[in-house]
Amino acid sequence: MTEQKKAGALSSLAGVSVSRRRFLAGAGAAAGALASAGLAAPAIAQSRPKAKIGYWPIAGGLAFFAAVERGYFADAGVDVEPVRFAGPNQVVEAIISGRIDGSATGTASTALALGDAQDPGSIRLFCMNFANAEHVLDHVIAPRDSAVTSISEFAGKRFACGPGVNNVTLARAILEKAGIPNPKVTELPGTQILPAMAAGQIDGAYVLEPTAVIGRNKGISKIVETAVVSKYVLGDPMAPWLGGAASLSGAFVKENPAAARAVVAGYARGVDHVREAGLDANQYLKGYTAIEEDLQRDVPVSGYRMTSEMSEADWAAMQKLFDLFYERKVVPQKLNAAGMALKL
């Protein structure tokens, strides 16, 4: 990639680091104990490899949040620094520019594929989060008192979605499949969708959790339909919409293969914990998303697949999603979903 392209990617970078409370508390306590005994603290933690992983504040990143907070990455032998971004495109731009080493689940898999298409082999996927009618993540919402009861009724109305070409493409596809020709969709920052709806500026929106839960509990919005990508884009409400992915940059994997394996191992433990704990795992949404403690049990839990667990049907469903972006001329060439899997 040219230096000019890298500079352009850097200009849109808006990440803010989030420290691991568990690691900092433990390190501080150990250092204090050694200091009081007149001993210098050993540089053990500093000897571990480090990885910066970007995320944006949606529920699909839960397995990552749990792995960080429960110390699974440190146990595997790598220090992971979570870096927060406003949307999935910013995460991808930061990977391409070399400012971070990978992404958490919740980062749009199609946005990651678009980034890899610019520089083939630059982004490798190792864990997917998915939604369907059972593992709910995506909805179309309307103001609480709206008379709208189905997506087809949004014809001629003001409709919005979150940031990035991924969200805009899916929102338009959903509206078209529901029978609305040439729909217009307004792109808004995720945090502004509910305020815009409360102010009467939009009549509906395609959103990801936790937006629907927050809107319902604050009396701003209602859910019109759920599992909308599976139903309208994939053609089956139970089809897995593998819309988010955890990834590592190709450069990081090549330069730090042991650290890459440690990141994958720690992440797999985070996935296992979410599967076992269910809604109890939602405690780790606090601090990473806008969900506070009193709403934690209202947020549905995404499904997860490590790439080693992906079936042929799973890859086919993901490929169908990727093909949509080619058919709509978002990308100039077909994207190979299975070809992006990380191999260690």
Q: What is the DSSP string of 256-314?
A: -HHHHHHHHHHHHHHHHHHHHHGGGGGGGGBTTBS--GGGGGGSPPPEEEEGGG--HHH
Tens-digit pLDDT profile for residues 98-131: 999 999 999 999 999 999 988 899 999 999 999 9
Asked if residue 39 has pLDDT above 90, the reply is no
Asked if residue 260 has pLDDT above 70, the reply is yes
| pLDDT value of position 341 | 97
Beta bridge partners of 131: 241
Angle between helices 165-177 and 109-118 (to 10 degrees): 130
| pLDDT value of position 335 | 87
Q: What is the mean pLDDT of the chain?
A: 88
Enter the DSSP assignment of 40: P
Asked if residue 32 has pLDDT above 60, the reply is no
What tokens were used for 6?
């890298």
Beta bridge partners of 245: 128
Query: pTM for the whole thing?
Result: 0.81
Strands 50-55 and 102-103: parallel
User: Which amino acid, 255?
Assistant: E
Beta bridge partners of 16: 84
| pLDDT value of position 8 | 43
Tens-digit pLDDT profile for residues 10-28: 333 333 344 444 433 444 4
Asked if residue 247 has pLDDT above 80, the reply is yes
- 15 vs 260 pLDDT, higher one: 260
Q: What number is the average pLDDT over the span 25-43?
A: 41
User: Chain centroid to CA 340: how far?
Assistant: 17
Enter the DSSP assignment of 80: E
Indicate the helix (H) or strand (E) that contains 225. Answer: strand 221-226
